[in-house]
A = this chain, B = another copy of it.
C-alpha cells in the first residue's frame, strides 16, 4: 500500500499552507498548461485520481461535467473536500489507487495531478484507466518530473553566485526516494520519462501530448522566485488518448 503521508497530521497541516492549498487551482503554476491539455468535458463524466481537497472536481462541475468522481487515500483530504461542496453530482471516495477497480467505459476524462509519483505500481492502474475510458477518452496527468525525482539527495547547487544547477544522479535507477518535503521521510517513486511513456503505450494509449513544465515569462514577471524553475523542469504533464 502507498504511504499515506497526507493523513500525517504534521504533513497535512503544512500542506494546507501551500499556495495551491489556499488558492486552489490558481495557486498551482502548472495549472494553465495542464488545463490546456484537457478535452471538452461538458455533459461528460470525469474521474480525478488523487483529488485532494477536490478543487479540480468542483472546477469540472463548474465547467459542465455531468458527474465527477474524486478518489483519494487520505481521510483528512476527503473530509476537507466533502466540506467544500454539497453538489450531489460530485462523489468523493476513499480508495487505494494501487488496488482500485474502475467501471468500464465510464469516463471521457481521467485526470490526476501530482499523484502517480507516490504509487509503487502504475501498470495495473493504467490498465484500469484505459478500460474505464470511453473510446476517444483522455488520461491527462501531471507528476513530478523525473529530473526532479531522480537524485537521492535532491537540491539546488549554486556553483557561482546566482548560477544554480540541479545535480542529477541515479536517473536510470528507478524506485523509492525518501525526501524531506514538509516533513521528514516522504516516499516518492522515481520513474524515467521513458517508463511513463512505455506504460501508457503498452496499455494501448496513444500519446497526444508531453510537456515538461516551466514557468512562462509572464509568470516569472509576476513571481520572480519562479525563474529558477527554468533550470530544470519541475513537472511532467502528459495527455494520452484511448
- Residues of A at the B interface (CB closer than 8 Å) are 147, 150-151, 157, 159, 163-173, 192-194, 197-198, 201, 206-212, 214, 230-233
Contact = CB atoms under 8 A, between A and B. Distances in A.
Contacts of A214: 171-172
Contacts of A230: 170-173
A233 B151 CA distance: 13
A86 to B, nearest CB: 40
Given A151-B165, A192-B212, A231 B170 contact: yes
Contact of A206 (B206, B212, B232): B206
Contacts of A192: 212, 233
A212 B147 CA distance: 12
Contacts of A166: 167-169
Specify how many copies of this chain sit in the oligomer: 2
B173 A169 contact: no
Contact of A168 (B165, B172, B208): B165
A232 to B, nearest CB: 5
Given A201-B207, A206-B206, A210-B198, A167 B168 contact: yes
24 contacts: A147-B147, A151-B165, A163-B169, A164-B169, A166-B167, A166-B169, A168-B231, A169-B231, A169-B232, A170-B230, A171-B214, A171-B231, A171-B232, A172-B231, A173-B230, A192-B212, A193-B212, A194-B210, A194-B211, A194-B212, A197-B210, A201-B207, A201-B209, A207-B207
Nearest to A163: B169
A211 B194 CA distance: 5
Interface centre among A151, A173, A209, A210 (most CB of B within 10 A): A210
Contacts of A147: 147, 168, 171
A159 to B, nearest CB: 7
